[in-house]
Structure 1
Amino acid sequence: MNSQEHYTPPHIVKMAREVLGGIDLDPCSSDLANRVVRASVHITSQQDGIKSAWRKQFWNQGVSVWCNPPGSRHIKPSLPMQFWEKLCKEVAKGNVSHALYLAYSLEQLQQCQKAGYPPMAQFPLCIPRRRIAFIDMDGNEQKSPTHGNVIVYIPGMIDNTEGFKRVFSQLGYVKV
């Protein structure tokens, strides 16, 4: 696949909805991806979820966020790291009630430390037993996932760490 777009499989989105109690915002989405995610509000690449205000633009209180950023090797820092930094800043501002971040690669655990971002490993996380077979832009499951993944739970105003552990332990090892 030549695209940066790697959509989340429906069974993982369902798990995310269960932990978050629904998804208010997907800041790095598309109209196609949101057919599965069903976020109340989604921000497309044209709208730029990194530069957009997450709280003031949409709600008067914190939002539950699902974040599966597009990959990019040509932008420094990478788009996933830019979305990680934005998510951490929005949590710190009190704009996010709680969130889930899907890192396409276990290497992101290392990258966020090198770049000075809050380490993903300080939060509850799930390392799936198998690589996630993302969905391509045509709606087909990718045949050969190239990276191991990690799903990070970021508590904000709401802390559902126990729910994260219960739900995502079905997918793989959960560290809280």
Structure 2
Amino acid sequence: MENTEQPRSVASHRFDNAKRRRPDHHARQAMLTPPYVLEPVRELLGGIGLDPCTEPDNPTGAAMHYHLPMDGAALPWDAATIWCNPPYGETRGRWIARCIEAGAAGAKVVLLIPSHTDTRLFQQAMASSTSVLFVRARLRFGVLRDNGRQEAASHGSALIGFGVDLSPLAALGTVVRRAGS
């Protein structure tokens, strides 16, 4: 019998997106923003009017918030200031689109996403932004693993500002402002 299986490269397992992506309801999607990032953002915005994708206990202290099982990407974003640390799963594009829309409508929006600068989603967000802050070092999210250690990001992160200049947050990393903003 002839072997019809295609040869695989040594690293091919690393590029299997099915192994990297999780549904939005997956337990490891809850990545609470560390206070050393959240507090300066809250101060810059003058408070958080809406957090559309938080936990039921509202750890960001937003005036209005949505959490699972609510679909915050589909609900109204009627706030002047918005903080968004979306699920890093399959629907991230919906959240980025909503942040872009809210910023275009006049809201001050800060979005936290992986700084995968080569991806279509990152490029869309950056093209519509006022400024981008590339966070220095990897974030340590406020989620404890089974061994009691904090969950650390496996990648760099970026704050993307829509209608807001992130330059005052330069202590967190490198800020790039779009020309003309």
The TM-score range, normalised by the shorter chain, is 0.7 to 0.9
Q: Amino acid of the residue matched to residue 145 of structure 1?
A: A
Percentage identity across aligned positions? 26
Task: Give, in whole Å, the separation in 1 of the partners of 2:119 and 2:101.
Answer: 19
Q: Give 5+ residue unaligned stretches, structure 1.
A: 56-61, 73-77
Aligned twin of 1:75: none
Is the CA contact 1:28–1:44 (under 8 Å) kept in the aligned structure 2?
Answer: yes
Aligned twin of 1:82: 94
> What are the within-5 Å matches in structure 2 for residues 16-165 of structure 1?
16-32=41-57, 34-35=58-59, 37-55=60-78, 62-72=79-89, 78-92=90-104, 94=105, 96-103=106-113, 105-107=114-116, 110-112=119-121, 118-123=124-129, 124-136=131-143, 142-155=150-163, 160-161=164-165, 164-165=166-167
Q: Amino acid of the residue matched to residue 39 of structure 1?
A: A
Give per-residue Cα distances to partners, 1:15-49, cap 9 Å, x unaligned: 111111100000011124x22x1000110121111
> Does 1 or 2 have the higher relative contact order (CA < 8 Å, sep 6+)?
1
TM-score scaled by length of structure 1: 0.75
TM-score scaled by length of structure 2: 0.73
1:4 to 22, 29, 46: 29
